[in-house]
């Protein structure tokens, strides 16, 4: 009977009646294929020489196989290193290229905004705001505007309807104010006159209490500063900020077609 998967091998028994198969070549094939020695006999006069050879050749060849394996492994390691180095080099190039593109894009954008703003504003006031690599960064606002964080604010004393107020802000390269944080609200109210109310960039166009910021900033639950019991009327679809005594500054929903002051906001220009 031949071992499974190795047809054509001869079967014989050595003196110790150990079962052996085939010739040296066949044994070698089986050793390599099935990773086992066919016959573990340590040598005997009656043992077929071919078969006897099969006890030794596999070990020699096994060493060769191990050597080949080590060489292959080293080769794969080298390839992996080459691939890794090439990938890192490519990523570095991409990073540098994107930095250059972003820098040029930002510069071009700043230049465009500067030329646009020049149409409406006679001068800019700039403040040093840290450094970019080795250059200083300047955050600039139109000279008559207030600066806070990354924005500039204009408190309009001209009274208009809400839509007209927004239009006026847009003409100056801005929009009605969007209050993103409590700190921003606190800064803004310091600039206001307690005897007036001011339109915000917040409206409820459908009158279903679905309030929306004019720049599509999500209307976060934790950044709402309504006065108590406001908003109180679905027909009042625009938001204003007003000081009510006793108390403090807060928001009130009002009719959009009432004349009020307003607050414009624009992003600073960075040079
Ligand atoms: Ca804002
Ligand atoms: Ca109201």
Looking at the DSSP bridge assignments, the partners of residue 260 are 160
Q: pLDDT at position 47, please? A: 43
Instruction: Report how far ligand 1's centroid is from the alpha carbon of 178 (Å).
Output: 4
Cα–Cα distance between 139 and 86 in angstroms, integer? 40
Q: What is the pLDDT of residue 85?
A: 92
Joined together, the tokens standing for residue 99 give 């930095």
- Which residues, given as ranges, of the chain have pLDDT below 50? 1-6, 35-38, 40-62
Q: Give the Å distance between the CA of 108 and the centre of ligand 1.
A: 24
Give, as residue ranges, everything with CB less than 5 Å from ion ligand 1. 178, 180
Q: b/e per residue, 47-65, with b = 16+ CB within 10 A?
A: bbeebbbbbeebeeeeeee
**Boundaries of every domain in the chain:** 11-67, 126-270
Return the pLDDT at 107: 67
| pLDDT value of residue 112 | 75
Q: What angle (nearest 5°) sits at the alpha carbon of residue 133, between those of residues 129 and 138?
A: 25
Long-range contacts of 167-173 (CB under 8 A, 24+ apart): 168/262, 168/264, 169/262, 169/264, 169/265, 171/120, 172/120, 172/121, 172/142, 172/264, 172/266, 173/113, 173/116, 173/117, 173/120, 173/266
ω before 73 within 30° of 0 (cis)? Answer: no
Query: Among 204, 213, 251, which Cα is nearest to 229's?
Result: 251
Residue 50 has a pLDDT of: 45
User: Given this model, what pLDDT does residue 250 score?
Assistant: 97
Distance 255 CA to ligand 1 centre (A): 23
252 Cα–ligand 2 center, Å: 5
Q: How far is the CA of 44 from the centre of ligand 2 (A)?
A: 109
Q: What is the pLDDT of residue 73?
A: 77
Peptide bond into 244 cis (omega under 30): no
Closest C-alpha to 257, from 234, 229, 238:
238
Please name the fold of domain 126-270.
Mannose-Binding Protein A; Chain A (3.10.100)
pTM (predicted TM-score): 0.60
């Amino acid at each position: 009977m031949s071992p499974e998967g190795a047809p054509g091998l001869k079967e014989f028994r050595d003196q110790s009646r150990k079962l052996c198969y085939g010739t040296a070549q066949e044994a070698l094939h089986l050793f390599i294929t099935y990773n086992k020695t066919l016959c573990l006999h340590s040598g005997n006069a009656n043992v077929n020489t071919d078969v006897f050879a099969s006890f030794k050749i596999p070990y020699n060849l096994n060493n060769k196989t191990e050597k080949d394996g080590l060489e292959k492994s080293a080769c794969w390691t080298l390839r992996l290193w080459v691939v890794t180095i090439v990938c890192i080099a490519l990523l570095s190039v991409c990073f540098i290229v994107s930095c250059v593109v972003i820098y040029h894009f930002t510069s071009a954008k700043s230049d465009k905004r500067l030329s646009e703003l020049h149409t409406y504003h006679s001068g800019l006031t700039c403040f040093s705001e840290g450094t970019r690599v080795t250059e200083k960064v300047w955050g600039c606002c139109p000279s008559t505007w207030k600066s806070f964080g990354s924005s500039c604010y204009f408190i309009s004393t001209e009274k208009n309807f809400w839509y007209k107020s927004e239009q006026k802000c847009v003409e100056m390269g801005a929009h009605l104010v969007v209050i993103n944080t409590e700190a921003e609200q606190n800064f803004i109210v310091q600039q206001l006159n307690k005897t007036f109310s001011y339109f915000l960039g917040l409206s409820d166009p459908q009158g279903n209490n679905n309030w929306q910021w004019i720049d599509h900033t999500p209307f976060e639950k934790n950044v709402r500063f309504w006065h108590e019991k406001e908003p109180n009327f679905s027909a009042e679809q625009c938001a204003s900020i007003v000081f009510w005594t006793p108390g403090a500054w807060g928001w009130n929903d009002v009719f959009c077609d009432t004349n009020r002051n307003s607050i414009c906001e624009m992003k600073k220009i960075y040079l």
